[in-house]
Amino acid sequence: MKKPNFLIIGTMKAGTTSISNYLCQHPQVYIPRKKELYFFAFEDKPPHYQGPGDDDAINQAAVTDWKTYCEYFEKAKTATAVGEASTPYLYLPRALERIQHYIPNVKLITILRNPIDRAYSSFLHTSMAGREPLTDFAQALSVENSRIQRNWAWTWHYKAMGFYHAQVQRYLEQFSPGQFRIYIYEQDILQNLTSTLADIYRFLEVDPSFNPDISTQYNKTGLPNSRQLHRQLMAQKSLPKQLVRAVLPMAFRKRLKQALWSWNFKKPGVETALRRQLAQEYQEDITKLQDLISRDLSDWLRVEE
């Protein structure tokens, strides 16, 4: 029975989809086509989240038994590095316990991002998916605790997911340093992607000289100018889509869709006052985290006027 020997455990909206896509290009690496299997978070305990769209996106999608989980890796064949990416593993404590139980010698990769930017990007992500009923980020933060109490999934834990210190410390206490790689999104992914990928390849014991196609950045986020147009673009079946399919070739349809996406989406920044407030709330956690992992994270606390 094939099982993974590495996991990308988080964090959400920190480039994990892009890294997964770059890694799976390597001939010695195997990652299932389905991202976010969630097995170690929900083994034998299927989730019952209550947020908008949680049932389809998580409750029905989660893999909860070991045999089914291992089937996703059957095509790995002779791959040296076999893994998957499920971003809630870092955040949800139960995942660590189950990882230890099933694959105690696994190699772990996590990417951490400025928690303010991560929270905002997550808000934009749920908005793009048509699941966030609120259009104002500050308002969404103000109801976050209520949503958590009503059992909305981690997707909605915009601020809570950004308190990384305890999350990382749990793993460092249970796994040896040689099993864990921690990367900083702004420093290692945005600024030094090529060297970071080579480091990951070495960590996974595959050829570090391989050069993947990194021209595509995955899972970009934004807010729609027109929610009606966004619903049409997101819909699997709609009358406008059927008409377009009937008269336009596929290549042109793809270019048209991309043009409409680009036109319809904007990415406004976090308001300065709110960013300053969040930086104050995160300050202690960020200070403890940078001491824990020996990385300079002072940029996360800077607020430009």
Query: Domain limits of the chain?
Result: 6-217+271-301, 223-266
The reported pLDDT for the residue numbered 207 is 98
The reported pLDDT for the residue numbered 211 is 95
Q: Which residues of the chain have pLDDT under 50?
A: none
The reported pLDDT for the residue numbered 202 is 98
> Considering only the top CATH level, what class is 6-217+271-301?
alpha beta
The reported pLDDT for the residue numbered 243 is 58
The reported pLDDT for the residue numbered 222 is 53
Burial classification of residue 121, based on how many CB atoms lie within 10 Å of its CB (0-12 exposed, 13-18 middle, 19 or more buried): buried
The reported pLDDT for the residue numbered 129 is 86
Q: The pTM is what?
A: 0.87
